[in-house]
Amino acid sequence: MHNQSHHNYPDNTILLVLSSLFKTMSLTLTGNELGTSTATISRALSTAREFFADELFVRSGPRMVPTARMRELLPDINDVLRRLEKLSAPTVFDPADLSRTFRIAAADNGVLAFLFPAFKRILRQAPQVKLDVIGLNGDLFEDLRNGRLDLAMFPFDPIPPECRSVVLVDEPDVLLVKKGHPLVAIYKEKGELSLSDIQAYPKVKISNVTHNFSAAVVRYHASLMAHESDGASISMPYFLAAPWMVLETEATVKILEKNGRLLARYLPLEVLPLPPSIAGHYERSRLWAGTRPEPTFQAADQTESAVPSSNPACRTWPSDRRNARHRECR
């Protein structure tokens, strides 16, 4: 038993030298094998001799012959080197092997914008993954800190320093109307819509009336229909119920562009640009607690969003790649 301080343990380079020298029995050949000079090999051997309090190798003619102590040490040295190699090997993440539930807080428009396009790919590539989506609420950050939530989408409150975030999309809102709406013809004729053009038709107002949303979400909801100076025909706290109100009426609704274009792919609806004075601009963030291994997403392309992963090595984000801006809060 030797009394060396733990601060003086030989590093893996010295262990590599001893393992190689045992095979080659030559300082020169070991230097060639490890890509270094004979002088470096000699210094490493001197350090090892001091630590193990043994010659380890003695010269016999042109060869370096291992001592009994070196023969005793070799199995443990090689075992340590194998373990170090295993630790340093890159982890290959296969989403098909992932079996866990991701708990995500999001408003319904966040589910449509990001989870809807991702869900098909998740089922195909990570069939054992489950998603548990809950609404945004006042306990958002606390739930992230204590692990009750893995991700939150669309939180607008100032983000605590221990949390991280990334902007998924940064784009203006648009006006959603039914196909053949008179505003479509007006836009085609004028190339733009005025506030008075829009106010001539009934409005569907998305308003937050539930205490469960954060104050910043309430502020955004208020800004959504800032142009409703003459009142709305119907107000509701639901993003995705609103488009159904315009399907068979001449009502209009202001909505996130990404969701508007997605809805128009499946329903007889049209997307019109809003006047800049009322269009608004809306950043949507995904965030997670910085003290926990972050759930990550691998984006395939702009139309299919992502497969969740618990592997921190996978650090690509689902986003609208044309205009997403990433940020992290640490």
Q: Where are the domains of the chain?
A: 6-88, 95-168+283-309, 171-281
Decide: 289 and 144 in contact? Cβ < 8 Å. Answer: yes
Does the structural domain 171-281 have CATH classification 3.40.190.10?
Answer: yes
Decide: 204 and 236 in contact? Cβ < 8 Å. Answer: yes
Cα 37 from Cα 42, distance rounded (Å): 9
Which residue has 């733009």 as its token pair?
Answer: 192
**Long-range CB contacts (within 8 A, 24+) of 36-44:** 41/17, 44/13, 44/14, 44/17
Token representation of residue 105? 């807080």
User: Model's pTM, two decimal places?
Assistant: 0.56
pLDDT of residue 143: 87
Which helix (H) or strand (E) segment is 201 a member of? Answer: none
- Give DSSP secondary structure letters for 257-280: HHHHHHHHHHSSEEEEEPPHHHH-
Could you please state the CATH topology (level 3) that the domain comprising 95-168+283-309 is classified under: D-Maltodextrin-Binding Protein; domain 2 (3.40.190)
Same CATH fold, 171-281 and 95-168+283-309?
Answer: yes
Q: What is the pLDDT along the chain (330 residues), one digit of tens a residue?
A: 444 444 466 778 899 999 999 999 999 999 999 989 999 999 999 999 999 999 999 999 989 999 999 999 999 999 999 888 888 777 778 889 889 999 998 888 888 888 888 898 999 999 999 999 998 877 788 888 888 888 888 656 667 777 778 877 777 889 999 999 999 999 999 999 999 999 999 999 876 544 455 555 555 555 544 544 456 788 887 888 888 999 989 999 988 888 899 999 999 999 999 988 777 655 566 666 655 554 544 433 333 333 333 333 322 223 333 333 333 333
pLDDT of residue 237: 77
Identify any residues that bridge with 195 across adjacent strands, giving them in sequence order.
none
Distance of CA 32 to the CA centre of its chain: 44
Could you please state the CATH topology (level 3) that the domain comprising 6-88 is classified under: Arc Repressor Mutant, subunit A (1.10.10)
Cα 24 from Cα 64, distance rounded (Å): 8
CA dist list (Å): 20 to 59, 60, 69, 89: 16, 17, 16, 20
pLDDT of residue 135: 84
Cα 318 from Cα 316, distance rounded (Å): 7
Ramachandran sector of residue 134 (left: φ over 0; alpha: ψ -120 to 50; beta: rest): beta
Which helix (H) or strand (E) segment is 247 a member of? Answer: none
Which helix (H) or strand (E) segment is 202 a member of? Answer: none
Cα 299 from Cα 307, distance rounded (Å): 7
The dihedrals phi and psi of 283, each to the nearest 5 degrees, come to: -95, 135
Q: What are the residue ranges of helices labelled H in 138-214?
A: 140-145, 182-190, 195-199
Decide: 104 and 131 in contact? Cβ < 8 Å. Answer: yes
- Give DSSP secondary structure letters for 27-84: HHHHHHHHTS-HHHHHHHHHHHHHHHTS--EEEETTEEEEPHHHHHHHHHHHHHHHHH
pLDDT of residue 307: 37
